[in-house]
Amino acid sequence: MALIGGVAASWPLAARAQQTPIPVVGFLGSESADKWADRVHAFRQGLAESGYVEGRNVTIDYRWAEAQYDRLPALVTELVRLPAAVIAVGGVPEVRAAKAATSTTPIVFQIGVDPVAAGLVGSLSHPGGNLTGASNLSIALGQKRLELLHEAVPSARIVALLVDPTNGSVSEIESRSTQVAAQQLGLELHVLHATSERDFDAVFAALDKLKAAGLVIGNTGIFNARAAQLGALSLRHAIPAIFQSRGFAASGGLMSYGTSIPSGFRIIGVYAGRILRGEHPADLPVQESTEVELIINLKTAKALGITVPLPLLGRADEVIE
């Protein structure tokens, strides 16, 4: 009888253990898994810092738009219906799709714009609602990138800015701020558009027709995912160019200047774990990444016949030789 009683007493505990499901975290990306490998790794690292390891005590359900932004609403709806306990997104189109899909499921984001100005949260310190995350200075640095490019190539009078017009307000803000900077520097600025890598050849052909001697590449998920390709193309077409990611400079681009995107994904990984533990996104302040790095590819400069000024080289965080 004692044995039977002991077994019976253990049944409720066993039943509760079986009934406690492993939480599901949704992860929505505008590109593919291979192009976002560094961001996924950083996100998992942040989750682990909060005590959640994929495959052990949390499941991550991924959805990839493969650069087809019109798929985002359907993909995020799938994650909401799982249901995901929290959804992680990177990029303005993704976060807007997630915000439109649910007002209750917690959403953590990593974006390159001011989330307050974009109407995503009420304030940085007290986001309110179901969204929080991390933002960096990628949009605000567009003007600075043009200034750095002008410092490296002072003889260039005609320059171009490449943006993705499907990126909405992000492209508009970049275009306006960079145009202001160009006017202050006495430069002629042309704004070029690309919505996919299929447009890249036409962009570089246009640069040649315009006789542009410099290129600033704007912030968008498509360009971020193809930073290495853009770096190689700028070298092949002998165009001095600057972008935000190190991968661009390492692949042949003249310079990169920006914040670390993966570091933002580590932050939202930490936040996802804290939400799984019971905290509310409304109470988690949006974190701002303000640390930037300047990388100069001296091999590319020599190949392009550019003598980088010593003061500029001295300010570089890394020089690729």
What pLDDT is recorded for position 230? 95
Comparing 10 with 209, the larger pLDDT belongs to 209
Q: Are residues 69 and 50 in the same domain?
A: yes
Per-residue pLDDT at 171 exceeds 90: no
Tens of pLDDT along 14-61?
444 445 689 999 999 988 999 899 899 999 999 999 999 999 999 999
Q: State yes or no: pLDDT of 255 exceeds 70.
A: yes
Q: Is residue 15 part of a domain?
A: no
Average pLDDT of every residue of the chain = 90
Question: pLDDT tens digits, residue range 173-194?
Answer: 888 889 999 999 999 999 999 9
Question: Quick one: 56 and 28 in the same domain?
Answer: yes
Judgement on whether residues 190 and 282 belong to the same structural domain of the protein: no
Say which residue, 96 or 4, is predicted with more confidence. 96
Domain that residue 30 falls in = 22-137+261-289
Within a domain: 1: no
The number of distinct structural domains making up the chain is: 2
H helix intervals, 65-168: 72-81, 92-101, 142-152
132 and 98 in a single domain? The answer is yes
CATH number of 303's domain:
3.40.50.2300
Are 300 and 194 within one domain?
yes
Task: Examine the pLDDT at 208 and tell me if it is beyond 90.
Answer: yes
88 touches 108 (CB < 8 A): yes
Q: Does some domain include residue 7? A: no
What pLDDT is recorded for position 272? 98
Give residue 5's pLDDT: 46
In a domain, 245, yes or no: yes
One-character DSSP codes across 225-252: HTHHHHHHHHHHTT--EEESSHHHHHTT
- The answer to whether position 147 is within a domain reads yes
Q: Is residue 44 part of a domain?
A: yes
Q: Same domain for 27 and 132?
A: yes
Same domain flag for 246 and 202: yes
Give pLDDT, residue 138: 66
Q: What percent of the chain has pLDDT over 70?
A: 92
Q: Round to whole Å and give the CA distance between 207 and 212.
A: 5
Does 12 reside within a domain? Answer: no
Question: For residue 187, how many other CB atoms are within 10 A of its CB?
Answer: 19
| Domain-located, residue 26 | yes
Is the model's pLDDT at 2 over the cut of 90? no
Indicate if the alpha-carbon torsion angle 125, 129, 135, 139 is positive or negative. negative
User: Do 195 and 151 fall into the same domain?
Assistant: yes
pLDDT tens sequence across 74-127: 999 999 999 999 999 998 889 999 999 999 999 999 987 788 878 899 999 999
pLDDT band at 246 (very low <50, low <70, confident <90, very high): confident
Same domain, 128 and 238: no
Asked if 139 and 174 count as a contact pair (C-beta separation under 8 A), the reply is yes
Q: Identify the band that residue 131 occupies on the pLDDT scale cut at 50, 70 and 90.
A: very high
Q: Are 26 and 84 in contact (CB under 8 A)?
A: yes
pLDDT at 18: 46
Same structural domain, 314 and 225: yes
Residues 50 and 122 in one domain: yes
Examine the domain organization and report whether 113 and 233 are in the same domain.
no
